[in-house]
Structure 1
């Protein structure tokens, strides 16, 4: 099994053992928020004292992870299992609340946790740039630290951790342009993203256009598919039927959606609608299923990013917030993990590609 690269923020690395995790869909135990407090460490520290104080600072702290979807979703399962191991090893109470792609349910879960001051740190995976603004603000007023992962919110909270979607999109788009020019293909592409009003989609589209516009390429359409594989496949089938060989690539904002797009392109080639290998499929992230599709020739390349590193960084950040003693919302940071372009030539040698859920 390949080792996963975990690069990020400074922290003491510990051997992690699997601890219990409750996947919940509603409330939690009551309590009070973390708020501000005394700093755990000063300028100097003794070796064994540092170990003792680190565990004492985190013991019993209540950490809630609220992703947009959990069960069966490799991306969030990867983060959650990483957090579960790390927080469990530190003696913290870690729980996952799964709204199952229901934004209203997600908001209700967070509102309930904040109202009861049932957590010390909230780790959030927000659906779009504005939907959790009130919840993050309320959490800070309740003394609860907030860490947002993967899709930045307009209300930053204490920290954001994720991939640099603009830079990643630029890198993979440059690869797509190179491939199109080698084939002498038309300078036309299509974008397929999520809801369209979320940070990932907006930043993906911006990065794609940063490269395509100066190169004289046209984006014939942008399809919003809500991260649903079925909708992504339907959109690609319709666009391919209309455009046929007049586009050279699909720029898909998410790896699982890219697999569905690849299926639609392969089906069109089998039916003779397009020439084989005339349309490339490019994306961001590379879970194990995407890697299988790559090896099968259904997708072309991806800007793979350090998914597990996001979960690791959330753990590190939570520890730093608790140890730092500053009030919730008094500091705000943005941090990006690494990414790199992978294809069939290097995917098996790239540690951050082909990630699994656990």
Structure 2
């Protein structure tokens, strides 16, 4: 009996990283829906990102100071520079690009394009020695094939829309209820531009995972590293928003979808979920943390079709299926 209980405990312990990343992707799917609602409510994209990291900083800094006050190593210039890069590639830059893509396309499309992250992370990890290719092994061949299939799926998703697929309809459209309805999806040029923004966001996210793995080796404190990343991301995002956004009314928050969006995306996504990602990267590596991205597509597609009245199309279905193969 003791042996069986011990085996169960070992199994649960071994599944912790995978279960953690499942929770992360479900939480990130919620961010996609909130982003779309806030953007269609008229909120500036740059202000959304700035407030996201302001809320994340306000939450994570006290948590890090309390929980890791005795175990936190001393800061040095190298750690601060890595935190700056994490805040840039995993925060302000990638989020601004992603939000632009989300508004120009749809929540489902942007989430599907994000599934290129495993392939990009795989290539980057090999190039700097974090992962071994092992092309003669089954695992190596599977990774290469998965990368090629993922790229093919992204191309189908971008260039081929296909016929509409009607699975269910709840007649619920939270975007229309807010009084702002975007009509960008019919413009192929804007959809292609949105795909380019999404691709740039994928590269930024993949670079962040690789830098985070390096940072975790010298600074193995996930709460403190996340807090540093949030501080750097907040500074960058606020400076960028102040330079680009001249309408001061955009910074006003009320008890509405705008406040809910920035609070959820900041505290839950950039705070708690990024901390969990940092832990997974430190324990299992950047590639492991990236391979769960396809799960977000499934959750976002379901939520978007149920509450945003987004339509699934054959091209997106086939392209998303190929992306999920990785």
Shorter-normalised TM range: under 0.3
Bigger fraction of residues in helix: 2
Higher relative contact order (CA 8 A, sep 6+): 2
Instruction: Report the TM-score when normalising by structure 1.
Output: 0.26
Instruction: Report the TM-score when normalising by structure 2.
Output: 0.28
Bigger fraction of residues in strand: 1
Name the larger-Rg structure.
1
